[in-house]
Amino acid sequence: MKKFVNQIITFIFSAVLLSAILACGGSDDGSVNPETATENNPTDTNKNGSEHNLMTQKEEISPVIGAPIEQSTVAPSPTVQKKVEATPTPTPPSKTIDEESTGGLVDELSADDYTRTNARDLEKEFRKSPDTANSKIGKQFVVQGNVLEAGTNTDAESYVSFKAGKGRVTCMFEVITDAELRRFTPDGTNSVVGTIDTWDAENRILTLTNCKIVLGY
């Protein structure tokens, strides 16, 4: 009988002890109430929210496979063109009443002694028919032409060169004033009288010497 009573007491004590352990220990699987966890650890909530926002942004900026990629076009800088100013043709000085003149009128020159011609035809004759043209060396001609250039060479000799196709006819002046020389402007038409001196076939240059200005031709 006494042994039976002890077993009952032991059973009751064990039941009470087990109930106390279950009440204090909580859930055996270690799960945490989400609401309680959120209140106790707000950092986890912010972290989870940041990760969610980051994933959302990645989804928004992720390119669509196969979609054309737009390339930005950079407008080219405008090309700045340099302004090239043409060199104006110098204006020949006006002739004054008391100005010295070294030229003469064409009417004062006999056509028999001073054959009239032009620079282009004279150069062409020496180039095409040198045997015939060479007989004219040493003779005087009145030559008209379009001015290529005029000035003074390294020997301080005044000259004018007339256009003659790819060649030229150069006249070396015997005497001429600075004002008269400045009137031989490029592309202007002028006339001189002089003696045929040399023909440079390689460079196509016909040279006359002892030249003077001719007026009225």
CATH number of 104-215: 2.40.50.140
Q: Output the pTM of the full model.
A: 0.57
Reading the block at residue 143, the tokens are 């030559």
Beta pairing class for 104-105 and 205-215: parallel
Instruction: Give the list of residues 6+ apart from residue 148 with CB closer than 8 angstroms, or none.
Output: 161, 162, 163, 168, 186
pLDDT in the model for residue 52 = 54
Q: How far apart are CA 205 and CA 126, in angstroms?
A: 10
**Ordered mean pLDDT values, 10 residues apiece, the chain (217 residues):** 68 72 57 50 52 54 55 63 55 62 90 95 96 94 97 96 97 95 95 97 97 93
pLDDT in the model for residue 109 = 94
pLDDT in the model for residue 100 = 80
Q: What is the DSSP annotation of 35-60? A: HHHHHH-HHHHHHHHHHHHHHHHHHH
**Cβ atoms of residues 171 and 192 within 8 Å:** yes
pLDDT in the model for residue 198 = 97
105 SS3 class: strand
